[in-house]
Amino acid sequence: MRLGFDSKIMEKVVSAESLSLRYGSFTAVNQVSLEIQQGDCFGLLGPNGAGKSTFIRLLYGARLRDEGSLFVLGKDPEVSPRELKKKLGVVPQENCLDDNLTVEENLRIFGAYHGLYGEAFRARVIELLRFMSLEAKSTARVKQLSGGMQRRLTFVRALLHRPEFLILDEPTTGLDPAVRQLLWEKVHELNREGVTILLTTHYMEEAQKLCRNVAIMNEGRIASEGRPTELIEKHVPGFVAIFDRKSLGDKVSETELKKRSDLSYTLEPIQILLRASNLETLMGLAKEWGSEPLMIRPSNLEDVFLKIAGKDLDKYA
């Protein structure tokens, strides 16, 4: 029998143990055990179809699990979905706004779902529109807003009821760099104020900048978890050098690269990417080939992602 509350895990915003969900013969979430601590900004990463969105739906009770236990803010989403949704803010992949209504009208309708009315609510709307730099658009119809403005409005909607836990499902996909930077600043600010955040994203730079901890899902399972710097050191320590293939000519052959146990590589149509555990190895190759690399950078979270998702540098060749 499932209980709706567990006082022992209140300090954990999310506590999932051996969580599974199947669609027929397909297992979308496969024995996932995961904890998110209060005050964390936690990144859930993975390729398309890895199970991220399904896991999120389990968190707020939109899907029912087949196995395992799950508590969010101390409550089981299947037992107490209404109480839980009062404390959750969700920015979904799709904005789901009413294009024919104004900004304020959209917010009033959503506020009514949470029983928010009166002067205090109107003050909250003004506060959040100012927070997201939308105060000048309060009476504009949603269809008149740019894509970036609509995305910011979706953030405002998610924050109206002062949620304790904010779920951001690919919040900056398709946005220009300026809007993305703005939203990054707002996410940082919310997290500093104590809001616990779960972020899914395909932008590894975004995860590395915003998240203290990340988990990488692949084929429904948690493949690796930890702080970004820890995962980089564990899976892909070292540096990546990028060379122009045309400038190298026939100086480099795939046969020779395969013999090097100290290198991983990618052969792209116009570039060669090499990764080594130390900078000296890459600089030595540059000297041997008589060619300056286009770039040398430290390994990053994207390299971790590619390796765990089965697309490491040496598997592209």
Tell me the pLDDT band of 41, cut-offs 50, 70 and 90. very high
Identity (one letter) of the amino acid at 209?
Answer: K
Contact status, residue 67 vs residue 223, Cβ threshold 8 Å: no
Domain residues of the chain, as ranges? 38-49+81-230, 238-298
Instruction: Give the list of residues 6+ apart from residue 208 with CB closer than 8 angstroms, or none.
Output: 228, 300, 301
Instruction: Give the list of residues 6+ apart from residue 32 with CB closer than 8 angstroms, or none.
Output: 16, 18, 19, 20, 51, 55, 68, 217, 220, 221, 222
Digit-coded pLDDT (tens) for 211-242? 999 999 999 999 999 999 999 999 999 999 99
Q: What is the pLDDT of residue 253?
A: 83
Digit-coded pLDDT (tens) for 74-113? 999 999 999 998 999 999 999 999 999 999 999 999 999 9
Q: How many CB atoms lie within 10 A of CB 66?
A: 13
Q: Which CATH architecture has domain 238-298?
A: 2-Layer Sandwich (3.30)
Q: How far is CA 209 from CA 92, 124, 172, 227, 244, in A?
A: 21, 28, 13, 11, 29
Digit-coded pLDDT (tens) for 140-198? 999 999 999 999 999 999 999 999 999 999 999 889 999 999 999 999 999 999 999 99
Q: What is the pLDDT of residue 3?
A: 38
Q: How far is CA 218 from CA 30, 263, 305, in A?
A: 10, 25, 10
The CATH number, out of the four listed (2.40.110.10, 3.40.50.300, 3.40.50.150, 2.60.40.10), of the domain defined by the range 38-49+81-230: 3.40.50.300
